[in-house]
Each structure stands twice: as C-alpha cells, then as structure tokens.
Amino acid sequence: MADQIPKTNPFVRYGFLVIILGFFLWNYFQGQKPLIQSGKLEYRMVTGIKDGHFQVILLETTDRYVILDSAYREILVSEDGELVSRPKQLRLLEKYQNIEYRVGFSEESSGLKPGYRVTRELFNELKFGALMRYEVNKKQRDSLVGLVK
C-alpha cells in the first residue's frame, strides 16, 4: 500500500502567493508616486548644437547674465516679459539645432546641485531666490515635469 501524503495547510500555500502579490502591488504604487524635490534655482542655461558642436548660448545665474553668441545679444536682451519667447526660439533655431533649456537647483534636503532639462515655458517661469518645489520625471531623472504649488 502507498504512503499517504499529509495535506498542507491552505494558509501556507496561499500565504506565499499573497505576499508575492503584495510585493508587486507595493512596487507598482511606489512607481506611481511623484518624485518631489525642493530647492533654490542656481542657474538657467540655453544650449544648442551648431556645426556639430555643443554650445552654450545663454547662461544666467543669480548675479550674472551672459550671452555667449554675440549675434543674439540684442535679441535675447529685449524686455518682453519672457527670457526666451517663441519668436526668440524660432530665431535661435535658424542657427542652432537641438535647442535645450537647462536649469540647476541647490536641493534643500540633500545639498546636491543637480541639473535638469525643462520646457521653454517652465524655463521662463522659474525665478531666482525663492525656494521652489518641483516634480522630477521618474523615467528620465534629468528632466522636470513641472512646479508643485
């Protein structure tokens, strides 16, 4: 006669599955939470590619405003509210490829000074001196989603 196999407790069998499912659900919901940082704006920079070379077109810090391409000095200095308006961007695209807007923050919690890519609209919205809360893109850690109010 064959030996009988003892039955295992159903809580042991299904408990393991519940733990695994719980881990996957926790991991999924952690990915859905926004990554919020806070810090002060250190610099704003406009970059582009000209003749195959990376070039900084404009650099603004708390105490300096430098336009490195003299051909755009008068265009980028005009006072029309936005640092880089849509018409100014179109003028830059005549000479440069891959215009990017970059900003750097001094993060309050970690003391790090990361740089991020931003949209032109967000670039114009950011101001020096004030402590800001911003959301970092989780998939591309070098870009910002927007400001958190």
Neighbouring residues of 108: CB distance < 8 A, sequence distance ≥ 6 = 38, 39, 40, 131
User: Can you give the CATH number for the domain in which 67 is found?
Assistant: 2.60.40
Domain-located, residue 131: yes
Q: What is the pLDDT of residue 26?
A: 82
**pLDDT tens-digit readout, 77-127:** 766 667 888 888 888 888 898 999 999 998 887 778 889 999 999 998 888
Domain-located, residue 51: yes
Domain-located, residue 59: yes
What is the C-alpha to C-alpha distance for residues 103 and 23, in angstroms, rounded to an integer?
36
Q: How many domains does the chain have?
A: 1
Ordered alpha helix ranges (H), the chain: 10-32, 73-77, 86-93, 120-125
Domain-located, residue 64: yes
| Size (the chain), residues | 149
**pLDDT tens-digit readout, 119-139:** 999 998 888 888 999 888 877
Domain range enclosing 131: 35-147
Residue 140 tokens read as 């591309």
* Widest Cα–Cα separation across the chain: 99
Domain-located, residue 73: yes
Domain-located, residue 4: no
**pLDDT tens-digit readout, 9-20:** 777 778 878 888
Beta carbons within 10 angstroms of residue 44's beta carbon? 22
Domain-located, residue 23: no
Q: pTM of the prediction?
A: 0.72
What is the C-alpha to C-alpha distance for residues 92 and 83, in angstroms, rounded to an integer?
13
Q: Which of 113, 100, 110 is nearest to 41 (CA)?
A: 113
Domain-located, residue 106: yes
State the sign of the Cα–Cα–Cα–Cα dihedral 121, 67, 136, 42.
Answer: negative
